[in-house]
Each structure stands twice: as C-alpha cells, then as structure tokens.
Amino acid sequence: MKPSPLKGFLIHLALLTVCALSLLPFLWLTSTAFKGATENIFQYPPILFPQEPTWFNFKEVMRLVPIMSYILNSFIVAFFTVILNLILSALAAYPLARMEFRGKKIAFFSILATIMVPFQAIMLPIYIITLKLGLTDSAGIVPGFLGLILPFGVNAFGIFLLRQAFLAIPKELEESAFIDGCSVFQIWRQILVPLIRPQLAVLAIFTFIGSWGEFLWPSIVLTNEALYTLPVGINNLSGVFSANYRLVAAGSIISIIPILIFFIAMQKHFISGQTEGAVKG
C-alpha cells in the first residue's frame, strides 16, 4: 500500500530534523576552527559562518604539538586492529556457521554473552596480563603498540556479523568446491571470504572508528609520549589549548578527517553490507 503524501512528508521532515540536529555540533566545531581571534565565538545570537575565515588555527596546532605523530600512531594501531579483527573474526565465524560439532551452540552463545560485559569490568585483569607479558612501552620488551592492538584484536560483534554473512551463502558452493578437491581452508579463503566483502567492510569501519577514538585504554597502557595516540595526545596537551577554544576545535577537526576519508572510501561496501543480509537470522 502506497503511503499518503502527508505521511511521507512528515517522515522526511522528521529525518531532516534529526539530521540537522546531528550535524549542528560538527558545523559549530568547524565554524569555531575557522574563526579568527577578533571574532567572539560565544556571542549571542551565535553566528555559524565565520566573517573572516582563516587557516591560522590549524597552522598553530601543527606548530604547538606533534599532532601528525599522534595521527600516525593512531593509524598504526587502528590499521592492525582492523586487520586482526577481519582475519580472526572470519576464522572464528566460519566453523560456527558452516560446520557441525558438539557444543557449537554453547560456544556461539558464550561468545555472544561477552557483548554484555563492559570493557571496564575486565580492564584490570587485561592490564595485568598485558603488563606481565611485557606488552606496554614501560616494560621495554616489545613495542607498546602491541598492548593497544592485541586486546581488541577480535570481538563478539565481528564474529556474529561474519557468521550471519556465511550463513547466507548457499552450501552448494562448498559442495562443488569439495568435489573439485579444495581443502576447507581453500574454500574459506578463495570462495567464501570474497563473497562477504561487504560485511568485512562494515566490520572494518566499526573497528577503525572504535580504535581511532579509543581513549581510556591507551591512556592507561602508554607512558611514552612518543607513542601517544591522537585522543591521548590531545588530552595530555589540553593545557596548551585551555585558553583558546579555536585551537581545540582545529585539533578536533584534524582528528576527524581520517575517519571521514576512511568512511567515504568504504561507503559503497558499507551500505551494501547492511542491505545484503549481514544480520539475517
């Protein structure tokens, strides 16, 4: 049944309102970053568009703090966290979706149950394990980045997402591959994994965003300033920006740009991954 024009108008109006409310903080942040020293960022009524846009705030941030070093550190951590999640989640999801073994359902629901456990509840034992294994920069045994990457190398959401993706693939493809002499690993790597690229893109985007914006764990594990990720670096140097919100806004905009670029690059796969049965029963 075709919806009435009034109902369609109200739905679009509600969606546009929510979109505007979501974009308003970002637009205000961008406006503040481009405002010069002569403009009052707290004036009322507020002025959204700068009267004299300037790049000075961005140049000043680059001069005052090693923000590019922080961005590189964040990118290294996010990149390897994404790679580990894609590989390990796909390896764990395949037997849960395509194989039959004793305790399969128990294993699957046990993995799902970990979603309900907040990271803060298990942070202390993970930190002790990380410290004992020498995965922090203070231990000096291995690079401190491993202490940021390994605890987030796989999660229940990724396993669940890829399991549902594997379930949507016809079993006839596997049977044909078995007849042709393919091993289980060859079927997984050469046939099934390429078919779930949209879902892998979805997992990559969520993992990248989560790793890029992580603050609590890096602030605990890292003690070497040269290894600081972007959130920790900006927070640690907040005293530099305390009297100048224009620089705070400029630094925030710089930190957002890599996430936007990554999302735009993966947007096509992200949309298709959400619409191709990624969470189908």
pLDDT digits (tens, 9 = 90+) for 162-187: 999 999 888 888 888 888 888 888 88
Residue 221 near residue 127, CB atoms below 8 Å: yes
pLDDT per residue as tens digits for the range 135-149: 876 554 446 688 899
CATH number of the domain that 100 lies in?
Answer: 1.10.3720.10
My answer on whether 1 and 99 are in the same domain is no
My answer on whether 257 and 185 are in the same domain is yes
Percent of the chain with pLDDT over 70: 89
pTM for this predicted structure? 0.81
Q: Distance (Å, rounded) from C-alpha 93 to C-alpha 152?
A: 17
Q: What angle do CA 134, 136, 138 make, to 5 degrees?
A: 95
Instruction: Find, among 191, 189, 196, 206, the residue nearest to 167 by Cα.
Output: 196
At 239, is the pLDDT very low, low, confident or very high (cuts 50, 70, 90)?
A: low
**Is 62 among the domain residues?**
no
Range of the domain at 6: 1-54
**Is 61 among the domain residues?**
no
Q: What is the pLDDT of residue 161?
A: 92
pLDDT per residue as tens digits for the range 13-70: 898 999 888 888 888 888 888 888 778 777 777 777 888 888 888 888 888 888 888 8
